[in-house]
Structure 1
């Protein structure tokens, strides 16, 4: 089976429902903010609105803080608030963290989203790293009682975003992945009580975990952990909920794309000097991973052709079939799906599972603000490899007219973020071996 000639439409394409809901939420947030600030003026300066919303976060009444957070989110979705962030970065961060520590479930959820937007606005750098370090403990503490699905999903997605943007060391990324993993697959002890997670939460955690994994060099993680991850995600493929299956299938595809599964099998087959080891443990480990590979391939093949059952949502069934057809082609032939989507009048393309997972997660998190951020947020443009034509034309015009300056000032927040993010990616991805699942399938000499 060769690579498909016809690219399928991106399942993450922005539809009219997203746009309509965005407009509705924007107008609601603005009217809420005016009621918070006590003004009836129709035309209110955006900076003034944000200042008023920030002041409202000091109020004792929870509903007032919720309205203020909703207005802040709307402002960050509809325009990149660089000037406001330069002046009020630390204040906004700590007021949002206070809402996570003491607020209602709704307030916590809004605060999490605001922190994530703050991180995406500042881009990689010292401020993003500060957001991560200040947020990780309050988030991990709040996740210790995952009884509320809305709260838990918001906390996990916030942790994923601030880690993706702000982590500068492998250990920081692994720390966040472990927090999520403990939530999914807790190691029970005398002071740990297992909590049954809803399908919505499982889906969100798996997706967030995979999103962070896109920044990692898979070979830096130890083989024992990889075996645990792969085995667990394989069990999720058998769950009744299709959203859980889809998230797990994407996570497995990403793991196989890193080539880490080949590394694991090789480590279990050879000693550090490259010779074949003696003893049952190494041989058993190697045999186990080969059996696991075969099992997953059969699961994926079955899910790609599932007939569906009584009461099954056809949309979900089609999404599952399409996803696992892509995973199956990848496992058998090594081809990740080619995706193309329109942003404004420009095209964004992905050709790896890592790129697709980043795109889908960012689109989900930003919702109605996705298009605006992709058009104006240079950090996201670097992350997703997207250059709007208007930017290309601007650079070409400046170069042709002999101007020496960059399209934007090299001292701007955006360009600093771009440079720092690229340096971070080079560091985290150093010596990364990109492979695919087809390598070594059924080959005892892998």
Structure 2
């Protein structure tokens, strides 16, 4: 009975917090959003979302439109949690469709770093869950790219983004790149991204280098550079069996050699004056893993315990997804990983199941029915989502940096 009373109390807190989002006082709305985030981190709120989905989404969008930087950051995080709770399907698509223009507008006013970071993370999460159309994914990726590498007209001066914003945008961009097969992306944008990421490897900030290095490793895991040169140039020059002419092949080999040399140097870099040892060790470890992949095709394998069960990653794609979701969920990661079947599908993770009391089973019955009904929209969407993840994983396992299909290569 105590469990049931506690749950009623939690539900009333959520309902009150939702009501408080209508208040005029900004601090009241901010406290309400904090309460909602805490509730989502401590338990999957399927029943609340099923009843109050539209209200919560629209009030959060109103906060993004009119709120302070702090309120915008909190509302953005709440929308991301909302998408992870609903899982793939019509609701997730609605979240993306409704939120995109609000996020885009808020990103244009780059006044507060915390706000920008939260908006980028929100856009990544809602696109990852709700972006069924490849065009939606690319649109979000282009938005992120524009934040750090904008295309400007003449006589326009662009303020340089801070290291934190560069790291966040590159990480969010990479997170969405894990859901593509490479062919769906615009070829010119793809080439530009490789050159830009290579330039980031020369930056002073080690965390920027790590984010850029992981993004490059992912690009090579997804597929070879030569695919995109064919689509871009449309050249009729004599080509090899992959459709690459001699000039393009030389350019590709040069780019590969440059990146490999950068990675090799960063994997053994000595610490300089004032360098943070933790960041230096992290850089060396990351770039040793990248070097192993680029030279020999070995992806880093990781394992962590969640509730007594091992959560494993065996590809760059999985590692980037895991790191991004861990960062986004923060203190709520373990609980979400234990109970959220969307995350189970993404990582192929099967947690140990707890033994619930009769009261707890009654409370969570609605949640379970939402997932277990074989005819439910959510269940069908989850199945499609899982199939998509498996297909992409199989495709990527065949894509390696090694240049076996390129004939004799310098790298």
Task: Give the TM-score normalised by structure 1.
Answer: 0.81
Question: For residues 321 and 409 of structure 1, what CA distance do their matches in structure 2 show?
Answer: 48
Q: Is the 8 A contact 1:268 1:283 kept in 2?
A: no
Structure 1 residues 432 and 337 mapped into 2: Cα distance closer, same or farther (>3 Å)? closer
The answer on whether the counterparts of 1:169 and 1:428 sit within 8 Å (CA) in structure 2 is no
C-alpha distance 270-44 of structure 1, shift in aligned 2 (>3 A): closer
| 1:236–1:244 Cα contact (<8 Å) kept | yes
Structure 1 residue 415, shift from structure 2 partner: 3.0
Q: Name 2:191's counterpart in structure 1.
A: 227
| Counterpart for residue 332 of structure 1 | 295
| Number of residue pairs the alignment of both structures matches | 389
Return the match for 1:168 from 118, 132, 139. 132
**Contact 1:218 / 1:260 at 8 angstroms: preserved in 2?**
no
**Among residues 3, 10, 13, which one is paired with 1:49 in the alignment?**
13
Cα separation, partners in 2 of 1:433 and 1:220, compared to 1, 3 Å: farther
* Cα 1:191/1:182, change in 2 over 3 Å: farther
With over 3 angstroms needed to count, the CA separation of the structure-2 counterparts of 1:344 and 1:224, relative to structure 1, is same
8 Å contact kept, 2:294–2:401: yes
Contact 1:237 / 1:248 at 8 angstroms: preserved in 2?
yes
1:383 to 328, 346, 361: 346
Evaluate the alpha carbon distance shift between residue 136 and residue 83 of structure 1 in structure 2; reply closer, same or farther with a 3 A threshold.
same
Deviation at 1:271, TM superposition (A): 5.8
Q: Decide which of 55, 80, 100 is 2:44's aligned counterpart.
A: 80
Distance 1:327 1:298, change over 3 A: same
TM-score, normalised with respect to structure 2: 0.87
CA–CA distance in structure 2, aligned partners of residues 141 and 238 of structure 1:
32
Q: Which residue of 2 aligns with 1:31?
A: none
1:285/1:222 Cα in 2 relative to 1: closer, same or farther (>3 Å)?
farther
The question of 1:371 aligning with 2:299 is answered: no
CA contact (8 A) 1:218 1:432 kept: no
List runs of 5+ in structure 1 lacking aligned partners.
1-40, 392-404
Which segment drifts farther, 233-242 or 418-427? 418-427
1:284 maps onto 2:247 in alignment: yes
CA distance in 2 between counterparts of 1:250 and 1:430 reads 20
Match of 1:140 among 104, 118, 123: 104
Match of 1:344 among 301, 307, 322: 307
Distance 1:211 1:48, change over 3 A: same
Structure 2 CA distance for aligned equivalents of residues 427 and 140 of structure 1: 31
Contact 1:304–1:324 at 8 Å: present in 2 too?
yes
Cα distance in structure 1, aligned partners of 2:110 and 2:405: 39
Q: Which runs of 5+ in 2 are unaligned?
A: 355-368
Deviation at 1:289, TM superposition (A): 1.9
Once residues 376 and 353 of structure 1 are traced to their aligned partners in structure 2, the CA distance between those partners, rounded to angstroms, is 24
Instruction: Pick one of 128, 140, 147 that aligns with 1:183.
Output: 147
Calculate the aligned-residue CA RMSD, in Å. Answer: 2.8
Distance, in Å, in 2 between the alignment partners of 1:134 and 1:409 is 27
Q: Is the 8 A contact 1:97 1:138 kept in 2?
A: yes
**Alignment partners' CA distance in 2, 1:349 and 1:422:** 16
Q: Does 1:303 align with 2:278?
A: no
Q: Which secondary structure does the structure 1 equivalent of 2:108 belong to?
A: coil
Instruction: Give the CA deviation at 1:269.
Output: 9.3
Secondary structure in 2 matching 1:347: strand
- 1:103 is aligned, of 35, 56, 67, to 67
Distance 1:429 1:309, change over 3 A: closer
Q: Is the 8 A contact 2:18 2:56 kept in 1?
A: yes
How far residue 386 of structure 1 moved from its aligned partner, in angstroms, is 0.6
| Contact 1:268/1:285 (8 A) holds in 2 | no
